[in-house]
Structure 1
Amino acid sequence: MSPVEMVAIVLAGLAAGTINTVVGSGTLVTFPTLLAFGVPPVTANVSNTVGLVPGSISGAIGYRRELTGQRSRIIYLGIGSLLGGVVGAALLLVLDPGAFEAIVPVLIILGCVAVVLQPRISAWVARRHEATGGLPERGAWWVWPLVALTGVYGGYFGAAQGVLLMAVMGIGINDSLQRLNGTKNILAALVNAVAGLVFVIVADVDWLVVVLIACGAIVGGQVGATWGRRLPAPALRAVIVLVGIVALVVFLA
């Protein structure tokens, strides 16, 4: 690998770390970059997942103030993310690479629509729960299984995982989008970490690629936290939808 390619991968990691912290879908930057430099698709996907773990942790640290008071929620949802990540990683190793091609665009579209309609849907969900004392701190009952399914998707591929998580939590949990974004960073980090651990044990990992992506993603996580935390809810919602649309276009292309 030439020095120019190495620098390009570091910059791609920086961009991915920034995007992942604010929304998600940083894989849409790093994965095509690796393919362009001749890294085999499965090796690229595996190495990319492992390399982005430090960036996810960096972004979560950047959102530490928004995470205050969410320990119980994060542990509860984190278990679902961990289980889903393991299943998704296993599916990547045993299924045909094109197995998810039909469902991924549908998931991204549903996620974008849910984010756009989130205020109205959230209000409707809240009204439905008023008679029983309102939504629990951990969210509606269906949040956990959907977070787990998002973990399956994240462990398999991961692009737009953040969009799906924000859609699920934004509707089913009564909290601000910024606080939920902090939670999203923790859950995405857990999915990437457990999937990465599976890949390290059983798959072919390109450790040079991992180190290069990680170096950029760590810095990107801090950049994303610095700017992402300043966005008001409507602007954050718009960014999430925009990234989701870009993810859909790139995937279909």
Structure 2
Amino acid sequence: MSALDLLIAAGVAFLAGGINSIAGGGSLILFPTLVALGLPTVAANVTNSVAQWPGYLGGVAGFRAEYAGQRSRLVRFGAVAVAGGTAGSVLLLTTPSEAFDVVVPVLVLLAGLLIAVQPLIARRLRDADAPRRDPAWLYVALFLATVYGGYFGGALGVILVGVLGIGLHRLKLANALKSALSAVTATVTLVVFGLFGPIDWAVVAVAAPASLVGGFLGARIATRIPVTPLRVLIVVFAVAVSIYLFVRI
């Protein structure tokens, strides 16, 4: 990539980090940008995953107070995330890139729709009573969600909040656990893709710190700006990207 391309990638990564902190869905901004800059779709996907890894760690640090008394649950759910993230990452690297090209427009569209319905899920869960034990189906759902996260990852946080919210009936805790499990899944993809994936390390070098700074600043302003207009913009952009990728195929 040229210096201008790297500058564009860094700027979009900065925006993606902020969007992840404010509303979620930053991957849906950076991934198509990398494709537009000339990276093949699989390379753009793995580069996107690695570049946004620092932002997930920042999210975990921000929720550290919510993890009090959750150690055993974090260990159990984290083990599931390691298994699911590994399976998804290996699936991406061992299946033909043509298959990913066919599936990715659907995944982008699904991620956009999930972001659109996230407020509805939150409202339905806010007043529900919490179960005494984690239901067995929750572990299966978390495994499938993190397989998706290892394979593509766009709007993984939205999926995890929905799954954890339904299983635990505690939306605030679900949001905190979402950050931890996203970080675990992202760490797995970092290792797998770092060893075996077609990563553009020049992009990572500029996009990772930009994503971290954007995520930090986004968290600082998250309570000061209206989320709904940003959510609408992300959904519209996701639909447009999905259509573009369908046509591109």
**For this structure pair, what is the TM-score category when the shorter chain's length is used for normalisation?**
0.7 to 0.9
Q: How many angstroms does 1:207 deviate by?
A: 0.9
Does 1:74 find its partner at 2:74?
yes
* Structure 1 pair 246–64 and aligned structure 2 pair: CA distance change class (3 A): farther
* Residue in structure 2 matching 1:171, options 159, 162, 166: 166
Cα pair 1:122 1:172 within 8 Å, conserved: no
Q: Deviations over 1:121-170 (max 9, x none)?
A: 6756x4xxxxxxx5136x33322211111101111111111111111112
User: CA-to-partner distance for each residue in 1:150-191, whole Å, 9 max, x for gaps?
Assistant: 1011111111111111111122213243x4222211111111
Pairing 1:47-126 to 2, within 5 Å after superposition: 47-95=47-95, 96-98=99-101, 100-101=103-104, 104=107, 105=109, 109=113, 112-113=116-117, 115-120=119-124, 126=129
In the other structure, the counterpart of 2:196 is 202
Which residue identity does 2:79 align to in structure 1? Answer: I
Q: TM-score, normalised by structure 2?
A: 0.81
152 and 108 in structure 1: CA distance in 2 versus 1, 3 angstrom threshold: farther
2:132 is aligned to 136
Contact 2:35 2:44 in 1 (8 A): yes
Q: What residue ranges of structure 1 are gaps of 5+ in the alignment?
A: 127-133
Residue among 218, 221, 224 paired with 1:224: 218
Which of 151, 159, 164 in structure 1 is aligned with 2:154?
159
1:208 Cα deviation from its structure 2 partner? 0.9
More helix by share: 2
Residues 238 and 91 (structure 1), Cα distance of their counterparts in 2 relative to 1, 3 Å cut:
farther
Structure-2 separation of matches of 1:251 and 1:184: 25
**By how many angstroms is 1:239 displaced?**
6.9
Bigger shift: residues 213-222 or 1-10: 1-10
TM-score calculated relative to the size of structure 1? 0.80
SS at 1:58 equivalent: helix
Q: Relative to structure 2, which stretch is displaced further, 179-188 or 48-57?
A: 179-188
Query: Does residue 150 of the first structure (1) align with residue 149 of the second (2)?
Result: no
Greater alpha carbon shift after TM alignment, 11-20 vs 158-167: 11-20
How many residues matched? 240
Partner SS, residue 45 of structure 1: helix
User: What's 2:247 paired with?
Assistant: none
Q: Deviations over 1:70-128 (max 9, x none)?
A: 3222222111111111111111112221453586345764675475144436756x4xx
**Aligned equivalents of 2:31 and 2:125: distance in 1?**
34
Identity %: 34
Name the residue aligned to 1:193. Answer: 187
Q: 1:113 to 1:30 in 2, by over 3 A?
A: closer
Does the 8 Å contact 1:160/1:247 carry over to 2?
no
| Shift, 1:219, TM fit | 0.9
In 1, Cα distance between equivalents of 2:9 and 2:210: 8
RMSD between aligned residues:
3.0
2: CA distance, partners of 1:135 / 1:237 = 30
2:17/2:215 contact within 8 Å kept = yes
